[in-house]
A and B are shown apart, each in its own frame.
Chain A
C-alpha cells in the first residue's frame, strides 16, 4: 500500500500549510533570532573611553598612553586611582581601564636587554557589550604592544560578562533550540491534536500500522526543518559572517542527525501527552529549559555545578551545539567531532526505539 503513504504525507502537509500562523512563526523565529544577534551586537569599535592607573608616570607609561590617545578608536580620559576603577566602569565614564604595574619601566627595560621578564599590564574591560569589549581588548593590546617594541604581558579581566560570548557563539545555540522547537514541539502537538480531535481513534481502528502514520507525520516537519536549516546557515554565513571554515557539509550532516533525534523526541512526548497543552508544556519544560541552561548555550558547561555538569551529558543539544560550534567557529572538520556524532546517533536510536515501542495502537 505504497500509494496511501503518499496521501498521508499529503494530508499532513495540508495541515501544516493551512495553519498559516504556525508556519509563519516557524519560518520567522530563526530569521528574527539570527538578525537580532547579528545586528544588535555591533562589531564596530568607536570612541572607547579609556582611563589609566599608574603609581608613577614613567616615560614608558607616558609613551604608551600617548599612542593610545592618538588612536582614533580611543579617547583617553586621564589617570585615576586604583580604587576608582570600579566606579568609573560601572558609571560608564570609561569602558576600559589600563593598570600599569609599578615596575613597568624596569621590566620593559630588562626585557629589552634580553632578561626573561615582561612588563605587566592589566586590562579591565566592561564586557557587558560583548563585541565591543572583545574588539576593544584586541585593539588595546595591539596598540600597547606596539609601544616601545615591548612584549608586554597582559592580564585581561572582563567585568560583567566574563565568558565573552559573541554572536558567533549564538548561532549553534540557536540551531540547537530551533530544531527542537520545529521538530519535537510541532510533531508532538500534531500527533496529540489527533488524539484531542478524536481522529486518532479512527486512525487506530484502521488496518494501517501506527508506525506508518507516524513516519508520514514526521516527513513534512523534517522537510520544513531542512528549509530552516538552510536558512540559518545562509544567514550565518552571509549576514553574520560566521567563517564555517570546517566545511558546511559536515554541519549539514550532523544537523540532519539532530533533526531525526528531535523528531523522535517529539514522538516520545506525544505518547505521554493527551492534550496539546500538555504536549506544549512538556516540550517547553523538558526540552527547552535544559537546552537553554545545560547545553552550554548560555552558560559554559565547566561553570555549572558538578551535578548539572553530569546531567548535561544526557541533553542532546549539548553535544550538538558543541560540535557545531567547533565546526562553525573553530573550523574543525566533521571527523574532529566524531565523538559527538556517535553520542547523538546513539541517543537517536534509543529515543526512536523507546517511542515506537511506547506508541500504543490502543487507547490505553
Chain B
C-alpha cells in the first residue's frame, strides 16, 4: 500500500476546473515532485490531501486513511508547508517553533534530532522575529515547524518559489536528508530544473497530469530528435529556423535554442537554408524535462 493513493480526484471552484480526474500513488519513503506552472492545480491537490478541502469526486488515502472519512487521523500524521509564508511574523524563531510543538502536543526535545540538521542553521537567530528572516531562513524555519511532530508524510507546496538558486539547492539537499529518514515527501515546484532531485515526478498543467515517471524516464519518452542551435543574432535565428521545412518547433532554452525535428527534417537542408546566418552552430542535444513539458503541453 502506498503512502498516498489518489483515485480520480476532481475539484472545481465555480466554473474553474482546478483538478480534473487525477490519479496516482506515492510509495512510502518516496520523494515525489509535482512539476507545473501556476494554475496547474498543485495547491488544490495539497489542500485535498491535507483534508482542508473536500473533493467533488474521487477518493484518496494518505498513510492508509481516507481523506474524507478519517480526516482527523490524517491531520495528526502529516506535515504541511503551505505555499505562502505561513509562520507568525511577529513571533520569534523560537516562539514559532514552540507554538507549533504545542499545537501538535509534542515537545521540541522529542523531535530535536530530526529537525536539528535544518534548525541548527537558524538557531543562532532564535530570538529574531520570523518576519525579519531572509527567504532561505524563513523556509528552514517553516520546514522545522512542519516536521516538529515527526510526520510520516510531508506535503510541501512550492517551498522554493521566489528563492535564489543556491538556497533552492540547499533546500533540496535537506529534503534528500529527510527522505533518508524514511519520510514520504510530496513536493511541488514550478522550476523544471528541480525535477531531477525527485525519485519520481508528475508533470501537471491546468488540473491534469501530463505524465508520471522518474525524471530519466520522462526524458526518455521524448521521441523526437532534438538539436541545439545558436548564432550571433539569437532572436533572428528563432524566426528563421521556424520557417524551415521539417522544423516542428524551435524555442529558446538556455544558451541555445532547441529545435525539435519533425520526420521531414533534414540537417543538410536546414544548413543550406540557413547558410547566410552569421555564426550558426547546430549540435545534437539531449532533451530536458522542460522540452518534454513543452511537447506535452502542445499536444
Contacts and interface: CB of A to CB of B under 8 A. Distances in A.
Contacts of A208: 103-105
Given A14-B90, A198-B84, A198-B85, A362 B102 contact: no
Contact of A364 (B53, B88, B104): B53
A103 interface: no
- Identify which of B80, B84, B99, B103 gathers the most chain A CB atoms within 10 Å of its CB: B103
Nearest to A201: B82
B52 interface: yes
A89 B105 CA distance: 72
A202 B80 contact: yes
Contacts of A363: 47, 52-53
A116 interface: no
Main secondary structure of the interface of A (DSSP, over half): helix
B88 A207 contact: no
Interface string A97-134: 00000000000000000000000000000000000000
Interface residues of A, number: 24
Interface in A1-52: 1, 3-4, 7-8, 11, 14-15, 18-19
A226 interface: no
Residue from A18, A207, A208, A364 with most neighbouring chain B CB atoms (10 Å): A207
A207 B72 contact: yes
B9 interface: no
Nearest to A8: B102
Interface string A189-224: 000000001110111111110000000000000000
A362 B88 contact: no
A7 B97 CA distance: 11
Contacts of A202: 80, 82, 86, 100, 103, 145-146
Contacts of A201: 47, 50, 52, 80, 82, 86
A206 B78 CA distance: 8
B212 to A, nearest CB: 25
Contacts of B260: none
A202 to B, nearest CB: 6
B88 A15 contact: yes
A3 B52 CA distance: 26
Contact of A206 (B83, B91, B95, B104): B104
Given A4-B103, A8-B102, A201-B80, A364 B54 contact: yes
B102 A7 contact: yes
A3 B90 contact: no
Contacts of B145: 202
Interface in A218-241: none
Contacts of A203: 103
A202 B100 CA distance: 9
A364 B55 CA distance: 11
Nearest to A3: B102
Interface residues of B, number: 31
Contacts of B103: 4, 8, 202-203, 206, 208
Contacts of A7: 98-99, 102
B75 A207 contact: yes
B91 A11 contact: yes
Contacts of A205: 50-52, 75, 78, 80
B76 interface: yes
A9 to B, nearest CB: 10
A40 B76 CA distance: 58
B198 interface: no
Interface string B63-86: 000000000100110101011111
Given A3-B102, A7-B99, A15 B90 contact: yes
Contacts of A18: 90
B75 A206 contact: yes
Contact of A362 (B54, B76, B87, B146): B54
Contacts of B135: none
Contacts of A8: 99, 102-103
A202 B102 CA distance: 13
B89 interface: yes
Contact of B89 (A4, A11, A197): A197
Nearest to B100: A202
Contact of B105 (A4, A204, A364): A4
A18 B72 CA distance: 33
Contacts of A206: 75-76, 103-104
A7 B108 CA distance: 13
A198 B89 CA distance: 11
Contacts of B102: 3-4, 7-8, 11
Interface string A349-364: 0000000000000111
Given A201-B47, A205-B80, 11 more contacts: A11-B102, A15-B88, A198-B84, A198-B86, A202-B80, A202-B82, A205-B51, A206-B103, A207-B76, A207-B105, A362-B51
7 contacts: A1-B105, A3-B105, A199-B88, A202-B100, A206-B76, A207-B76, A363-B52
Chain A to chain B: the 8 pairs with minimum beta-carbon distance, closest first: A198-B86, A7-B102, A207-B76, A198-B84, A4-B102, A363-B52, A1-B105, A205-B50
Interface of B: 47, 50-54, 72, 75-76, 78, 80, 82-91, 95, 98-100, 102-105, 145-146
